[in-house]
Structure formats: structure tokens, C-alpha cells
């Protein structure tokens, strides 16, 4: 797995598609071809888009330029925009939607979690909105809840392709597991609830992150799991150290706990500027080793709070949305 700075560089170069021609990109348009690997969407290329609104906007703009050159892409966009607008109704705004020949990407904002969940449920059940695989994120933006997504409208693109495992510098589990430990690839009880098809479940994560009571309960349960395993304790110590170094004096690490593959925690900051500053430092730290994450960033009183779940395991390298 590439670290964050390298992944950003990869995405930036690929989206520019230096030297590409329409013939080379066939049977896909140029921008969507960057995300397609074999019969699926590459999580290694797609995941950084959901951690950076700037990269996401850049990809949207480039896919929209591609769409203008293809009648088929324009027809596909009209079809899915119509289905999406019917599902959203008065409970949100379709901020953007654009398609290639097989993939579509876009954003919808809503005023509340209830509004978001309502339109997402209608879209899920809509017969004209078939999505064969979808990746995305849900974030608080001011007083709005924004859902950004990338999905396949093509039955031939039906999987999330994870990157090959690489040496991450993290000790193998077998080296730290006590006698009687679970086999490699197993998870502790609390983290297992967030894992679906070797991916971090975006829907389950958001359900917990948006509810402070559920989040506190999940933190407590994962902490209870952590104290039963030396390797989980070591993972938590590592990521707490990295996080505290990044946050510095611009916030407070309220909590961090880990299982064998996932970690979850909470950081508060005095302002959005402070939050963005430490987040930028964390993103550039190769020791952070986050392979997929779901965040809930929102004002709480006079502070900004970031609640999160992330994968520290290259085997859990993507976020899969349930809707």
C-alpha cells in the first residue's frame, strides 16, 4: 500500500492522464479508466478521493469534461441524475453527478442524518438506480451532511480491487500473538462488526459515528477487547503516539483504542483551522499507516470534534458503502 503523499501523487498524475489518448482509454473514458482495474474499482486509486475534497472536485471536473465528448456518457448521466433526484426529493440537494461509460461519481447534501438516511433508502430500493459496486464517504460540512460517492453502472465492473499486500513495517501478528491467539486474519469482536467483505463498512461506521452514545459504547467495547490482546495494545500505543505527535498543541486526543486491524478514537480542536492543521500533518506522516477511514467532523459546543474509525491493516484497504 502506498503511503499518503505517494497515493496523492499517484491520483494527481493519473487524473491528468499524461500522454493518454481516447484509443488508449477504450473502452472507458479517460478519467474513469484511472479507477478501473480488471473487473472492479481500484481502492488504491479511489480511496484518496474520499479523504480530500480537493482531489474529489478535481476528479469530478475531469470526468465532466470526458462526459461532454460522449453521447453515451451524457445519456447515462441523465438517467442516474433523474433517479437520484427522484430519490433525494426535498430531503437534500444533488450537488453534482457525472458519468463515463461505466462509472459515475457525484455528491448529495442533506440537512440531517434523518434526511440522508431517507433518500439513501429510497435510492437503494429504486429499480432504475442499479449500482453494482459503490465507494464513498459521508462528512459534515458546516450545517450540511455531504455524501460523496463513486459507483459502477456496469455489471462488468462489480468488485472493489484491493492493492497487493506489501511490507508495511508493522510486525506480523504471529510475532506478537500469545499462545491460543486467533488465527491470522481473525478480528476481535467489536471491530468485526465494522468489517464487511474485507472492507471497512461505511454504513455501519457512520451509524456509530453520528450517534455520540453509540460511539462511546463502541469505544468502551473495543477498549475491553484491546486489553485482552498484547498485539492490539501495541497497535493502539503506536497509533496514539503518531496521533498525539500530529495533533500537538492544536487539539486533544480524547481517546484511541484498537483491535487487531481497526482503530477508533476521538480528537477535539478549538477551531476548524486547528483541526485542518493537525489533519494535514497526520496525512503526511508515513507512520500513520491508515488504509481506509470514515470520519465524522462536526462542531460540538465551541469546539470541533473528529470521531473516526480507520483500518491499520492493508488487508482492510477500502471503505464499502452499504447504500
Segment 190-238, tens digit of pLDDT: 899 898 877 888 888 888 988 888 999 999 999 888 887 878 888 888 8
pTM for the whole thing?
0.51
**Tens-digit pLDDT profile for residues 60-93:** 999 999 999 999 999 999 999 999 999 899 989 9
Of 241 and 38, the one with more pLDDT? 241
Residues ≥6 apart with Cβ < 8 Å to 51: 137, 283, 293
Mean pLDDT of the chain: 79
Task: Decide if pLDDT at 12 tops 60.
Answer: no
C-alpha distances out from residue 82 to 96, 174, 211, 321, Å: 12, 52, 32, 21
DSSP notation for 208-270: HHT-HHHHHHHHHHHHHHHTT-HHHHHHHHHHHHHHHHHHTTS-EEEEEEE-SSEEEEEEEES
Taking the C-alpha atoms of residue 221 and residue 207, their distance in angstroms, rounded to an integer, is 16
Instruction: Please state whether beta strands 40-42 and 159-161 pair in parallel, antiparallel, or not at all (unpaired).
Output: parallel
Q: What share of the chain in percent tops pLDDT 70?
A: 84
Task: Decide if pLDDT at 17 tops 70.
Answer: no
**Tens-digit pLDDT profile for residues 83-133:** 999 989 998 999 999 999 999 999 999 888 778 778 877 887 777 778 777
Task: Decide if pLDDT at 311 tops 70.
Answer: yes
For residue 82, what pLDDT is reported?
93
C-alpha distances out from residue 225 to 208, 259, 297, Å: 17, 7, 26
**Tens-digit pLDDT profile for residues 167-191:** 444 433 333 222 222 333 478 888 9
What is the rounded end-to-end Cα distance, in angstroms, of the chain? Answer: 26
Find the range with the poorest average confidence among 33-47, 55-69, 173-187, 292-306: 173-187
251-258: long-range contacts at Cβ-Cβ below 8 A with a sequence spacing of 24 or more?
Answer: 251/275, 251/278, 255/219, 257/219, 257/222, 257/223, 257/226, 258/222, 258/226, 258/232, 258/312
Tell me the mean pLDDT in the region 135-147: 76
Tell me the mean pLDDT in the region 39-47: 80
- Rounded to 5 degrees, φ, ψ at 267 are -130, 135
Amino acid at each position: 500500500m502506498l503511503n499518503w503523499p505517494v497515493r496523492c501523487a499517484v491520483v494527481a498524475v493519473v487524473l491528468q492522464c499524461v500522454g493518454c489518448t481516447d484509443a488508449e482509454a477504450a473502452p472507458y473514458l479517460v478519467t474513469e479508466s484511472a479507477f478501473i482495474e480488471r473487473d472492479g474499482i481500484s481502492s488504491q486509486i479511489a480511496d484518496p478521493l474520499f479523504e480530500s475534497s480537493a482531489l474529489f472536485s478535481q476528479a469530478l471536473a475531469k470526468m465532466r469534461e470526458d462526459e461532454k465528448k460522449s453521447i453515451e456518457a451524457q445519456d447515462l448521466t441523465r438517467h442516474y441524475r433523474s433517479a437520484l433526484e427522484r430519490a433525494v426529493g426535498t430531503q437534500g440537494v444533488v450537488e453534482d453527478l457525472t458519468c463515463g461509460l461505466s462509472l459515475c461519481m457525484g455528491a448529495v447534501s442533506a440537512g440531517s442524518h434523518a434526511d440522508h438516511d431517507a433518500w439513501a433508502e429510497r435510492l437503494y430500493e429504486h429499480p432504475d438506480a442499479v449500482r453494482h459496486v459503490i465507494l464513498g464517504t459521508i462528512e459534515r460540512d458546516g450545517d450540511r451532511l455531504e455524501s460523496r460517492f463513486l459507483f459502477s453502472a456496469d455489471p462488468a465492473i462489480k468488485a472493489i480491487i484491493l492493492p497487493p499486500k506489501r511490507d508495511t513495517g508493522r510486525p506480523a501478528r504471529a510475532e506478537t500473538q500469545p499462545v491460543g491467539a486467533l488465527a491470522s486474519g481473525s478480528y476481535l469482536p467489536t471491530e468485526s462488526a465494522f468489517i464487511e467483505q474485507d472492507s471497512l463498512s461505511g454504513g455501519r461506521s457512520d451509524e456509530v459515528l453520528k450517534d455520540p452514545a453509540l460511539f462511546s459504547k463502541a469505544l468502551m467495547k473495543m477498549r475491553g477487547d484491546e486489553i485482552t490482546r498484547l498485539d492490539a495494545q501495541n497497535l493502539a500505543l503506536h497509533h496514539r503516539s503518531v496521533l498525539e505527535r500530529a495533533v500537538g498543541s492544536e487539539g486533544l486526543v480524547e481517546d484511541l483504542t484498537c483491535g487487531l486491524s481497526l482503530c477508533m478514537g476521538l480528537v477535539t480542536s478549538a477551531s476548524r483551522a486547528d483541526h485542518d492543521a493537525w489533519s494535514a500533518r497526520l496525512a503526511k506522516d508515513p507512520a500513520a499507516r491508515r488504509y481506509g477511514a470514515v470520519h465524522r467532523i462536526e462542531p460540538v459546543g465551541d469546539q470541533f470534534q473528529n470521531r473516526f474509525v480507520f483500518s491499520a491493516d492493508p488487508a482492510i484497504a477500502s471503505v464499502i458503502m452499504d447504500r
